[in-house]
Structure 1
Amino acid sequence: MPHLRIVYPRWACALVFALGTLAYSPTGHTFDDYQLPSLGGASTAVSSEEYRLGRAWLRQFRAHAPQWQDPIVSDYLDGLIARLAPHSQLGRLQATIVMVDNRSLNAFAVPGGVVGINSGLFAFADDEGAFVSVLAHELGHLSQRHYARRTARAEQTQIPAMAAMLAGMLIAASGGGDAGIATAMGSQAALIQDQLTYSRRFEQEADRIGLQAMANAGYDPEAMVRMFSAMQRMARLQGGNPPEFLLTHPVSDSRLSDAQARASQLNVADAYTSNTLYDMMRARALLSINRNSPQQAASRLAQDNAEESAQRYLDALIAAHNGQTDQALQTIDQLAQELPDYSMLPTSAASIALDAQRYDDAIARSQRLLRLVPNYLPAQLVLAEAQLQRDPAAAFNLLRDITSQHTENPQGFSLLAEAAGRSGHNGWGHLARAEHLQLTGRVDRGIQQLSIARDAARHENDQQLIARIEQRRDDFLEYRATLEKF
């Protein structure tokens, strides 16, 4: 559709059309230990097409939106999704989290299972139930296929509207600073507003699915009502300039009343809460948001009456930020003794040691934890990064395992590329760099990198690696073809 390329940036068309072809149950291409989904080619079912296109959307979003890189918080969010998913009518869909470095209140869901979370959502939601209510609502949109149902009613007119929608999301994610996007989409401002806003029926449907999922997962559904009330107050205070989430998910009185009525009728199964752990994740988010003035993060956490242990944890992170490594480690080690079930505490200590270039300490701390929790990804990543400074070959072996298990993790491939280069595995290094490029939306550059990887593998006479690279090249070409269709 060449007219799309004229009106909108090419990447916007590729991204947005990913929202249009819908369904679930991915059946992607598998090659060796990478198990990466194919983004192009004939689809065996509408569901696999949506999954592939959703992953294409994610790659392009990573290329243009500011990312919040925090493996500890990412693992926490994966846990929340895993708890909600069985009760959210998602079927076989596997949700993938993308974290956006933006202080504004926002979250979104994209067909194919992509759930986006702004760091600012942690700042607004002062307890885990409130935060979970937003996740549950977004999973409700996914399970009820609201984008698909909207598109099915007006497919021809929806294409430019969806392009505007995607561009609007990127403008919001980047704080409105991308002049090129703003210029390209300038005349579409009203269309963005109109198309991003779900219908009242879709909003209530997602609320109902989310409320039931919360109750079944052990969360008090009244937390969603509290969150909506807080959002409604914010919308009234901010008038015509509310946060992006309230533009796309307006909270009306009738919607609030409906949620209240339904929440009051639900019974909570096996009540669950973890506000201490949530407050620690919130501490990390607030510190990220206020990285230039850390004390503001501490003041905000104290103002909201966070758990005392979480406030001590934030104090330790701030101490580490100020170069007071020993004080930070002492505090976190004490917290780890008091809360032995929180793997993120010893991992935080190992990360602080790593940042202070105490590589042997970081290795020892990570290894000690991984003997107890072998597959805890945040600790694995700290260990691998520390081993890069002491034993690149060990880092290379560990990172090959990590990337085989976490094929959508750009950080793992970035570290693998470095470890491979330092340990003399040049072919592997270029292949890992190519994978990182395609995961972050730069498929053309990834294809170029594969050519370099093939030459290096031939020089090393590694026939198995050559075969792997050739297969990945075919896959990358399919990825590119999928994007070029739009």
Structure 2
Amino acid sequence: MLRKPLTHLSTAGTLALALSLSAVAPAPAAAADDYGLPSLMGSSQAMSGEEYRLGRAWLRQFRARAPIWHDAIAQEYVESLLSRLAPHSGINDSRTVVTLVDSRTLNAFAVPGGVIGVNAGLFAFADEEDAVVSVLAHELGHLAQRHYARGQARAEQTQLPAMAAMLAGMLIAASGGGEAGIAAAMGSQAAFIQDQLAYSRRFEQEADRLGLQTMAQAGFDPQAMVRMFRAMQRQASLQGGNPPEFLLTHPLTESRISDAEDRASQLEPVASRHDGPIYSMIRARALLTTHQRDPQQAATRMEQDAAPASARRYLDALIAAQRGQTDTALRELDALAQEMPDLALLRASTAEVAFAAGRYDDAIERSRRLLRVMPGYMPATRILGEALLQRDPNEAYRILRELAEQRPEDPQVFNLLAEAAGRSGREAWGHLARAEHMQLTGDIQRAIRQLDVARQVAEQSGDANAAARIEQRREAFVGYRETMDKFR
């Protein structure tokens, strides 16, 4: 969060295009009490192996080309929201993965295989937590109803592109290909576009309806989805009819808003919640990311939106830290943490600020203190592992290896693990961790070469455990490469 962001290479502009343009055969008639959703019986809601493989291959390609928002605190927050929503969404497969995008545009997307993407701009736009939740619940609705797979059944009948080709088109569009990406996704099947758009509206309505149910059952306010739609509609009007990016991939009509309004009015949250200022603090981090060149704009935006005073103080502390005023930042964050001792992100932020200022011992102590009362809190664990690299590489390796086992899809953890392995004399394991980072970020050819180096080192050093693990992973990497070749 406090480090220099990656150069902006692209946006997630048309990521969900295939989802919103996919065709689908008419659904069976709905029962009176199922909110008009098609019945997906048995295990049909679980993603197929092919969906999973292609979705994860797509994610690796996306990471290679898109600007990723590396913010452990925001990542943990989004994952915690999804963990609350998923049990109520009808998703039977828990293998979802979140990727955050360093883009100021208002967008979120769902990709077959359980991939959920969220732009920093979504937080910058939404001034309430339930509005963000409404978007996440909608995306979970796409996954739960398996809109891509259902669309493919009809796509085969009309000779539209197969799943890999469609995802490849989405990737091209997301990587800056613009209309070229749309063309790749659609092929030359212009005659079927109108038919697809009609089904697209059905998919969007299904995702809305399931999202509304999910929100209510998880204790969120279903009316927030309607408020979010109205806000996006107003923005499009203010911009001369140019809609937010999310609406380019999720077409919004008055009838869709009316349907959501009607159904939301019939639902109530099953339990009242009060999460305090945590959302506003996450939003402060997002605004600071989207206004890196002029942080004061982030503060002005928070003030204009009447954010809680504690969230504005939090943002001021982060801005002070960016300006090198470490003591000032830590004093303010410590004061906030004393006032709100249950907010783990405040104490994690103090460790983050200390680490960014090179105060490694302080970062270690602050992280450990937080982990004693909140074991397993990912942002604190990651900061602790990174700070220990400067003081105790062996301990850093132990902590980061455990974290990598818990988060096998997290490239940043493997990047740190590779460094910890190298500094602690575990050369073969270091090459293996570096290879894992490479394959997670789409560089599969280099990853396989790195594994070959790792195997040579393991054999030379007589590390049989490392050699066995490397051989196992090489077989998996070759499989990854075969899947990723479908995008070339």
Query: Into which bin does the TM-score normalised by the smaller protein fall?
Result: 0.7 to 0.9
Cα distance change, pair 326–358 in 1 and its aligned pair in 2 (3 A): same
| Contact in 1 for aligned 2:19/2:148 (Cα 8 Å) | no
**Residue 36 of structure 2 corresponds to which residue in structure 1?**
none
Q: CA deviation at 1:237?
A: 2.6
Q: 1:160 to 1:466 in 2, by over 3 A?
A: closer
> Pairwise mapping of residues 204-219 of structure 1 onto structure 2 (< 5 A)?
204-219=205-220
Map of 2:427 onto structure 1:
426
Q: Contact 2:58–2:168 at 8 Å: present in 1 too?
A: no
> Matches of 1:16 and 1:425 in 2, distance apart?
45
Q: How many Å apart are 1:83 and its aligned residue?
A: 0.5
Q: How far did 1:184 drift?
A: 5.5
Contact 2:173 2:182 in 1 (8 A): no
**Number of the residue aligned with 1:443:** 444
Q: 1:387/1:207 Cα in 2 relative to 1: closer, same or farther (>3 Å)?
A: same
1:94 offset after TM fit, Å?
Answer: 2.8
2:161 to 159, 162, 169: 159
The residue that corresponds to 1:26 in the other structure is none
| SS, match of residue 118 in structure 2 | strand
Distance 1:383 1:215 in 2: 37
Residue in 2 that maps onto 1:402:
403
Q: 2 CA distance for matches of 1:48 and 1:115?
A: 17
The 1-side partners of 2:217 and 2:479 are apart by 41
1: CA distance, partners of 2:332 / 2:47: 52
- Report the equivalent of 2:468: 467
Separation of aligned partners in 2, 1:340 and 1:348: 13
Q: Give the Cα–Cα distance (whole angstroms) in 2 for the partners of residues 107 and 198 of structure 1.
A: 20
- Residue 66 of structure 1 corresponds to 67
Distance in 2 separating the partners of 1:235 and 1:366: 44
Deviation for aligned residue 1:101:
0.7
Structure-1 residue corresponding to 2:352: 351
The equivalent residue for 2:4 is: none
Question: 1:235 Cα shift?
Answer: 2.1
Q: Is the 8 A contact 2:348 2:379 kept in 1?
A: yes
SS at match of 1:98: strand
Cα pair 1:128 1:275 within 8 Å, conserved:
no
Residue 228 of structure 2 corresponds to 227
Relative to structure 1, the CA distance from residue 483 to residue 197 in structure 2 (aligned partners, 3 Å threshold; closer, same or farther) is: farther
Cα RMSD, aligned residues only: 2.7
The Cα of 1:271 is off from its aligned counterpart by 1.4
Which amino acid is 2:230 matched to? S
Q: Offset of 1:165 from its aligned partner? A: 6.4
1:22-421 matched pairs, under 5 angstroms: 47-155=48-156, 157-159=159-161, 163=165, 166-168=168-170, 171-172=173-174, 176=176, 181=177, 185=181, 199-274=200-275, 276-421=277-422
State whether residues 64 and 170 of structure 1, in contact with CA within 8 Å, keep that contact through their aligned partners in structure 2. no
Question: Take 2:469 and 2:185, find their aligned partners in 1: how far apart are those partners?
Answer: 45
**Partner Cα distance (1:46, 1:222) in 2:** 30
Contact (CA 8 Å) 1:235, 1:246: kept in 2 or not? no
Cα 1:460/1:322, change in 2 over 3 Å: same
CA contact (8 A) 2:169 2:182 kept: no
Q: Secondary structure at the match of 1:266?
A: coil
**Structure 1 residue 49: deviation in Å?**
2.4
Q: Deviations over 1:297-329 (max 9, x none)?
A: 000011111111110000000000000000000
Moved more, 97-106 or 269-278: 269-278
Contact 2:131–2:224 at 8 Å: present in 1 too?
yes
Find runs of 4+ consecutive structure 1 residues off by over 6 angstroms. 15-20, 189-193, 195-198
- Distance in 1 (alpha carbons) for counterparts of 2:179 and 2:260: 39
Match of 1:30 in 2: none
Partner of 1:408: helix, strand, or coil? coil
SS of structure 1 residue aligned to 2:389: helix
Q: 1:47 to 1:162 in 2, by over 3 A?
A: closer
Q: CA deviation at 1:342?
A: 1.0
Matches of 2:433 and 2:301 in 1, distance apart?
Answer: 40
Seq. identity, %: 59
Give, as a single letter, the amino acid of the residue that structure 1 aligns with 2:64.
A
Q: Residue type of the partner of 1:264?
A: S
Q: Distance in 1 between matches of 2:183 and 2:57?
A: 26
* Equivalent-residue separation in structure 1 for 2:65 and 2:428 (angstroms): 28
Aligned AA for 2:145?
Answer: Q
Q: CA offset at residue 62 of structure 1? A: 0.8
TM-score scaled by length of structure 1:
0.86
5+ residue gaps, structure 1, are 1-14, 21-44
- Letter matched to residue 85 of structure 2: L
1:266 partner letter: L
Structure-2 separation of matches of 1:367 and 1:400: 17
Give the whole-Å Cα distance in 1 for the aligned partners of 2:441 and 2:134.
29
**Following the alignment from structure 1 to structure 2, what is the Cα–Cα distance between the partners of residues 261 and 186?**
33
**In 2, Cα distance between equivalents of 1:196 and 1:283:** 37
Q: Deviations over 1:284-306 (max 9, x none)?
A: 00000001100000000111111
Change (3 A) 1:191 1:454: closer
Deviation at 1:267, TM superposition (A): 2.2
State the Cα deviation string for residues 105-141 of structure 1 (Å, max 9, x = none).
1111011110110100001111001110000111011
Q: CA deviation at 1:254?
A: 0.7
Secondary structure of residue in 1 paired with 2:284: helix
| Amino acid paired to 2:312 | Q
Alpha carbons of 1:392 and 1:399: their partners in 2 closer, same or farther (altered >3 Å)?
A: same
Distance in 1, matches of 2:282 and 2:347, equals: 14
In structure 2, relative to structure 1, the CA distance for the partners of 1:128 and 1:170 (3 Å cut) is farther
Give the aligned residue type for 1:158. L
Q: CA deviation at 1:52?
A: 2.1
Match of 1:143, as an amino acid? A
In the TM superposition, what whole-angstrom CA distance separates every residue of 1:133-191 from its partner, at most 9, and x where no partner exists?
0001110111011111112112263317974665456545x5x4xxxx45964866987
